[in-house]
């Protein structure tokens, strides 16, 4: 993995301004892992993408991911802490890994699959559409055409496929469990690692731009000159300007 400089961070943030959140995550992976540019990151299994994002996040911001959410029942603020090193060391599924459920064969979901169902707001329909994207073959196929109508599958059948996918690629979905102390409501919530990392990258980029503005105004330095300063030296100069 290539470490991102402050200039890299600004360039990455600028390039991602007009992109879909899914594409921002892929852009970040490509920036930090030059070898990924030889293949399509969009076709990586989600676990592999998330592991790369976890590695990048730890390199840029440290081990612990800290944040909060609101209880979905009473609105109580609930904090969480996730070990990024553990995520970065997780086992993930491979691109050519297939799973079979009741004679039907599926590959693992990718970012490209998520992009194709991004406009669907009903979670049940989106889940069916995702499985349709991932179906490779079926016992009911005829002349290479899919004959299975997944919308007619029972919830138990759909869950069986989902469970097998989760076993094959455990980092594809990162679920956090919460027990609300205010109302005793328990629930699980998915952690969108790409969105979490991007919010931190955006915060850093804006702080860097404010630092550039302050020091350029005070000393006449260029953006490149300000960014070339070590964090300690930059903070010292900023302290003198603000004094």
Contact by Cβ (8 Å): 221, 215: yes
Q: How does strand 175-179 pair with strand 135-137?
A: unpaired
Q: pLDDT digit string (tens) for 42-65?
A: 999 999 999 999 999 999 999 999
The Cα 30–Cα 38 span in angstroms is: 10
Quickly tell me which residue has 């840029």 as its tokens.
60
- Provide CB contacts within 8 A for 8, sequence distance 6+: 31
pTM above 0.85, yes or no: yes
pLDDT bracket for residue 104 (50, 70, 90): confident
Contact by Cβ (8 Å): 59, 32: yes
Q: pLDDT digit string (tens) for 155-168?
A: 888 889 999 999 99
What is the radius of gyration, based on Cα positions, of the chain? 22
């Amino acid at each position: 993995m290539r470490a991102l400089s402050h200039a890299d961070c600004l360039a990455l943030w600028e390039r991602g301004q007009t992109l879909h959140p899914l594409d921002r995550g892929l852009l970040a992976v490509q920036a930090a892992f030059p070898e990924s540019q030889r293949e399509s990151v969009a076709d990586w299994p989600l676990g592999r993408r998330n592991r790369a994002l976890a590695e990048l996040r730890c390199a840029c911001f440290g081990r612990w991911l800290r944040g909060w959410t609101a209880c979905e029942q009473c609105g109580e603020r609930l904090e969480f802490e996730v070990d990024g090193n553990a995520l970065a060391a997780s086992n993930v599924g491979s691109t050519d890994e297939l799973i079979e459920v009741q004679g039907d064969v599926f590959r693992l979901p990718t970012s490209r699959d998520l992009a194709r169902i991004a406009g669907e707001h009903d979670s049940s329909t989106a889940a069916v559409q995702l499985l349709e994207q991932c179906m490779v073959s079926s016992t009911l196929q005829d002349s290479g055409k899919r004959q299975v109508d997944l919308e007619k599958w029972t919830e138990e059948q759909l869950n069986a496929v989902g469970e097998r996918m989760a076993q094959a690629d455990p980092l594809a979905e990162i679920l956090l469990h919460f027990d609300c102390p205010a109302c005793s409501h328990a629930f699980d919530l998915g952690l969108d690692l790409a969105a979490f990392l991007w919010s931190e990258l955006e915060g850093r980029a804006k702080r860097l731009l404010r630092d550039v503005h302050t020091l350029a105004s005070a000393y006449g330095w260029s953006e490149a000159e300000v960014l070339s300063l070590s964090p300690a030296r930059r903070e010292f100069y900023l302290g003198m300007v603000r004094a």
